[in-house]
Amino acid sequence: MRAKIFAAVTLCALLLGRGAHAGPTETFGYGSRSTAMGGAVSADASDVSANYYNPAGLAAAKGLTFEAGYLRTIYGLKMNGRDNFVDPMRGITFGLVAPGAVGPVPFAFGVGLHLPDDRVFRVRSLDQEQPRWEMYDNRPQRLFMSANLALKPFHWLEIGGGLVFLAATRARLDITGQFQVSNPKESELRHEVDADLTSIRYPQFGMRVHASDKLRFAAVYRGEFQLTLDISARLDVQANALGLSVPLLTYITTNSVNAFLPRQAVLGTSFDPTSALTLDFDVTWINWAAYKSPVTAVNATTQFNPPEGFPPSLVPEKPAPTVVIPPKFRDRLVPRFGVEGRLPLGRGHAFAIRGGYFFESSPIPPQTGGTNFVDADRHGISAGLGVRLHDLTAEIPGDVKLDVHAMYSYLPERLTQKASAANPIGDYRAGGTIWSLGFTTGLVFR
């Protein structure tokens, strides 16, 4: 009986979990130019990518801008030398910036979107004992959409902010009918699933200060969010065995945080030593210590009063409540570096070459006990090219641009040693590589 109950709840979770691959902006960047520069663009981005990196930069847009692109990520993550076959991520990116003015004050409105090309988002909950790549398997796989507004009250100051939109899941599962305890295949059960996606939002805002024509500083804040998966199930059946019919009523509730992004604060600077060269540096504080465990907490209550003579071996057991072990993640600082060199091609055309680097130390403590959140430090190296063509035709009074990028992430192998030799998972080594490739094309109407 217990197996039947859990099978029903699992089925409900799988049905809800058919949404998947989503915008991995926090992990793999947004926009080819910014990603190619290692994401170190909080004081530099004024294109569509500012919708994520720093909404204040939208106020410096040169004109109405449309951008679209594509991102593809391929994992090579391994445990004990064996590929874990972590699902690749791919999706379309889109965004716009619409500048204007209120009297003498310039402003701009921006929208950024990463739309997966096969699903909207994925919800997945695993046992805490089961090893999983916590930072790359499920957490980044979600839709990203943001809307922002920026102002430039002074020639040296830009401010902006907005909201990022996500969805959480709530569902109810009802099962009724006749259940044959001794022969489950002859059971007649009916089920009803009622699911609801509820919108959740978190704020982001930033500012950029122009200390001079060549030097800029920036500060950005991003709020905390969590995607929740809450399922309630009611099993109301007649349990039949040995000619006896006994009412069975069971309530099960499951609660989990399917994806969690902690608060972030970014400080950045951008410097142009010459008109053809830009150097960027960012440092990001991420509040991973507030991380919520993705493990599903299960609670069940059962009302079952068997009559005299009912076999004790057929009395269903009450599932024990899940004891969720606190993850105890650690905060971390992420340094990022970026460089861009530009070469004028005449008639307003230009060519750019870019590079970047970042280092993410793992926030996950040694997994010596019952949990198995697999992770390793990450070194990210990125590169990219860009071309901007000015006033190609009279019908397009502005710029056409194309940017491409590639990012290589190296995760040095990390050894996990269990405190107990009786641990069923045992010791393991984990590491690998990740490739991320993409392009962005756009129009800038001046």
Provide the CA 209 distance to its chain's centre, in angstroms.
29
Give the separation between CA 131 and CA 78, rounded to whole angstroms.
11
pLDDT, tens digit, for every residue of 131-170? Answer: 889 888 876 667 788 999 999 999 999 999 998 876 555 5
Q: 């009918």: which residue's tokens?
A: 177
Number of Cβ within 10 Å of residue 58's Cβ equals: 31
Give the model's pLDDT for residue 400: 92
Asked if 294 and 257 count as a contact pair (C-beta separation under 8 A), the reply is yes
User: What's the pLDDT score for residue 108?
Assistant: 96
pLDDT at 340: 98
CATH number of 2-445: 2.40.160.60
Query: What is the DSSP annotation of 267-320?
Result: EEEEEEEETTEEEEEEEEEE-GGGPPP-PPEEEEEEEE-PPTT--GGGSPPPPP
What pLDDT score was predicted for residue 175?
64
pLDDT at 319: 65
What local confidence, expressed as pLDDT, does residue 377 receive?
97
Residue 139: its pLDDT value, please? 67
Kind plus residue range of the DSSP H or E element containing 266 = strand 264-274
Question: How high is the pLDDT of residue 384?
Answer: 98
Distance of alpha carbon 29 from its chain centroid, rounded? 11
Asked if 415 and 56 touch (Cβ cutoff 8 Å), the reply is no
Identify the pLDDT of residue 183.
Answer: 64
Q: What is the pLDDT of residue 181?
A: 55
Q: Could you list the pLDDT tens digit for every one of the 446 residues in the chain?
A: 434 433 433 333 333 333 333 347 888 999 999 999 999 999 999 999 999 999 999 999 989 999 999 999 999 999 999 999 888 888 899 999 999 998 899 999 999 998 887 766 666 667 778 888 988 887 666 778 899 999 999 999 999 999 887 655 555 666 666 666 556 666 666 666 665 656 677 899 999 999 999 999 999 999 988 777 677 777 777 766 656 677 777 777 776 676 678 899 999 999 999 999 999 999 999 999 998 887 777 777 777 677 676 666 666 666 667 778 888 999 999 999 999 999 998 888 999 999 999 999 999 999 999 899 999 999 999 999 999 998 877 776 789 999 999 999 999 999 999 998 889 899 999 999 999 999 999 999 87
Write out the two tokens for 163. 């909201």
What pLDDT shows up at residue 51?
A: 95
Tally the residues of the chain: 446
